[in-house]
């Protein structure tokens, strides 16, 4: 089959591994820089142009779109869908998961556990929002932040008030979340492919840090998730509409608490921590799910 990975950098670990896995399994795989794609929007013959030429038809694509490029990247994924290409993560699911507030609201509707979360836009509401999440210490997150950027631990009420007021003064959208003390600066990343957790790792924050992101010096190790954690991860991915997702959660006294559902999970940390061929599992799922039907719209809105 003929696949493509939408990625800005073919040298990135995740992109390289997906290409390697596809080739090892006997498939073609191209790396397409989605920012170099452009489209002529028409109802008759939807097509995607790339570096001066019309792209050939692919059986399936894997979007690896950075958070700062969600709008343009999702538009390109939609165009692939209009031409009949299967995307492991649909465009609507990518935009849904990237909206942190919307995604938390959808997860809450499904009854999934998560830290108590508050959202407000006025300084006058700060005291009530702090009470809402159980008081200090608490976590303040920029809705547009990624990889731990824009995440602040406020250890006192006064510190929380100062940080929230500063963000509101900058017209930044934030959420305020309960601090889960028993997690001890660690979280669980479950990698979901289809409706199965295929790999999981425990990420632990570095010295003097509470954020466990590997980009911020955290370490990763193999972990065996419980049945409850697996079920929560699969339901979270399904709620977003994602067939490939990294679901981050905290272990708490009241069970797993979902933090985020990532539509472009990195493969380096989890493959190295688990020793598993996660890229190969993704390609095998793609082969099973993508039906080579030729150019025809798969887009469902």
CB 60 within 8 A of CB 1: yes
pLDDT value at 298 more than 60: no
CB 178 within 8 A of CB 190: no
Angle, vertex CA 268, rays to CA 74 and CA 210, nearest 5: 90
Joined together, the tokens standing for residue 268 give: 């380096």
Cβ neighbors of 283 (< 8 A, separation 6 or more) are: 3, 18, 21, 22, 25, 27
Facing residues of 188 across strands? 202, 249
Joined together, the tokens standing for residue 284 give: 């095998």
What is the pLDDT at residue 43?
A: 66
Percent of the chain with pLDDT over 70: 90
Q: Would you kindly state where each structural domain of the chain is located, as residue ranges?
A: 2-96, 117-179, 182-283
Statement: 182-283 belongs to CATH 3.30.470.20: yes
**What are residue 203's phi and psi, to 5 degrees?**
-105, 130
How does the average pLDDT of the chain come out, rounded?
Answer: 90
CATH superfamily of 117-179: ATP-grasp fold, A domain (3.30.1490.20)
What is the pLDDT at residue 145?
A: 56
What is the pLDDT at residue 169?
A: 87
Residue with tokens 């954690």: 229
pLDDT value at 241 more than 80: yes
What is the pLDDT at residue 185?
A: 81
What is the pLDDT at residue 25?
A: 97
pLDDT tens digits, one per residue of 78-104: 999 999 999 999 999 999 999 999 999
pLDDT tens digits, one per residue of 33-76: 999 999 988 767 888 999 999 999 999 999 999 988 999 999 99
| Short-list 198, 204, 222, CA closest to 274 | 222
Class of domain 2-96: alpha beta
CA distance 71 to 153: 29
CA distance 94 to 96: 5
Structure letter (DSSP) for residue 34:
G
Cβ neighbors of 74 (< 8 A, separation 6 or more) are: 65, 91, 94, 95
pLDDT tens digits, one per residue of 111-124: 999 999 999 888 88
Joined together, the tokens standing for residue 29 give: 């795989």
pLDDT value at 228 more than 90: yes
């Amino acid at each position: 089959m003929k696949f493509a990975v939408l990625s800005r950098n073919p040298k990135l670990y995740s992109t390289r591994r997906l290409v390697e896995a596809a080739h090892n399994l006997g498939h073609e795989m191209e790396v397409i820089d989605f920012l170099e794609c452009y489209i002529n929007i028409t109802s008759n013959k939807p097509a995607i142009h790339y570096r001066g030429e019309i792209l050939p038809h692919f059986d399936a694509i894997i979007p690896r779109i950075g958070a700062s490029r969600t709008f343009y990247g999702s538009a390109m994924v939609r165009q692939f869908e209009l031409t009949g290409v299967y995307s492991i993560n649909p465009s609507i699911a990518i935009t849904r998961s990237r909206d942190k507030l919307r995604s938390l609201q959808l997860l809450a509707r499904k009854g999934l556990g998560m830290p108590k979360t508050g959202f407000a836009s006025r300084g006058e509401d700060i005291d009530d929002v702090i009470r809402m999440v159980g008081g200090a210490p608490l976590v303040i997150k920029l809705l547009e932040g990624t990889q731990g950027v824009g995440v602040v631990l406020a250890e006192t009420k006064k510190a929380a008030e100062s940080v929230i007021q500063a963000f509101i003064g900058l017209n930044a959208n934030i959420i305020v979340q309960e601090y889960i003390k028993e997690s001890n600066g660690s979280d669980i990343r479950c990698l979901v492919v289809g409706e199965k957790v295929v790999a999981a790792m425990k990420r632990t924050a570095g010295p003097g840090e509470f954020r466990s992101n590997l980009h911020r010096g955290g370490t990763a190790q193999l972990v065996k998730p419980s049945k409850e954690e697996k079920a929560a991860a699969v339901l979270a991915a399904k709620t977003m509409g994602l067939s490939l997702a990294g679901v981050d959660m905290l272990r708490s006294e009241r069970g797993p608490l979902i933090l985020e559902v990532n539509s472009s999970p990195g493969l380096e940390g989890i493959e190295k921590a688990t020793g598993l061929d996660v890229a190969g599992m993704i390609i095998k799922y793609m082969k099973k799910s993508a039906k080579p039907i030729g150019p025809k719209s798969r887009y469902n809105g």
